[in-house]
């Protein structure tokens, strides 16, 4: 085949080939969803949540290779309901929202663990540090609606959070649980 005919054939194929479908986008109902955290302070459990956050999700259980999720949350919006803890979270040594206003989890791979169980692997960027993170989650899809629950643990010391006043985890637990609960609609 002459080069000009090969180019014409490739061009015709490219025009005629259907575009690869991408997983559908999902819009999160923030009124029914939450991104929370918990740990211990002097042995007593505390809980909090991020009041401002956003999620961009493209997901299809039949196309996990092209599925993705990105959750961005405002560090200044971390609230426990306790004024002393909330004040500490805003300080430079803890979340430092003045310098690091957002934290982000970006998936690089979503895999099935069987049934409606999945794992989103990716990168969590928090307080200027980007480290690998995994979020195991369950997902139930009914028509165009989905509910998701996921939980993981973050080592706050790896992100240099609270290392000056409690670098050994004596007062505030080293491990902080992150819980995500989402209700979303397929677009």
pLDDT at 44 over 80: yes
CATH of residue 114: 2.40.128.110
How many domains, the chain? 1
Q: What is the pLDDT of residues 139-186, one digit of tens each?
A: 999 999 999 999 999 999 999 999 999 999 999 999 999 999 999 999
DSSP E strands: which ranges in the chain?
25-28, 34-41, 44-50, 53-58, 68-74, 78-79, 102-114, 117-126, 129-142, 145-155, 175-186
Structural domain that includes position 120: 22-186
At 13 the three-state DSSP class reads: helix
In a domain, 8, yes or no: no
pLDDT value at residue 20: 58
In a domain, 67, yes or no: yes
């Amino acid at each position: 085949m002459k080069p000009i005919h090969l180019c014409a054939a490739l061009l015709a194929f490219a025009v005629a080939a259907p575009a690869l479908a991408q997983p559908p986008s999902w819009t999160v109902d923030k009124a029914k969803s939450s991104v929370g955290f918990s740990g211990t302070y002097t042995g007593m459990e505390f809980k909090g949540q991020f009041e401002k956050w956003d999620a961009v999700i493209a997901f299809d259980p039949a196309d996990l290779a092209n599925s993705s999720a990105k959750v961005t949350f405002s560090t200044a919006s971390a609230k426990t309901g306790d004024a002393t803890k909330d004040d500490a979270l805003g300080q430079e040594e803890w979340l430092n929202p003045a310098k690091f206003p957002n934290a982000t989890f970006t998936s690089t791979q979503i895999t099935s663990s069987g049934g409606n169980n999945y794992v989103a692997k990716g990168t969590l960027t928090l307080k200027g540090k980007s480290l690998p993170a995994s979020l195991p989650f369950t997902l139930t899809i009914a028509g165009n609606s989905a509910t998701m629950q996921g939980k993981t643990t973050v080592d706050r010391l790896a992100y240099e959070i609270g290392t000056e006043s409690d670098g050994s985890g004596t007062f505030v637990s080293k491990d902080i649980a992150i819980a995500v609960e989402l209700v979303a609609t397929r677009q």
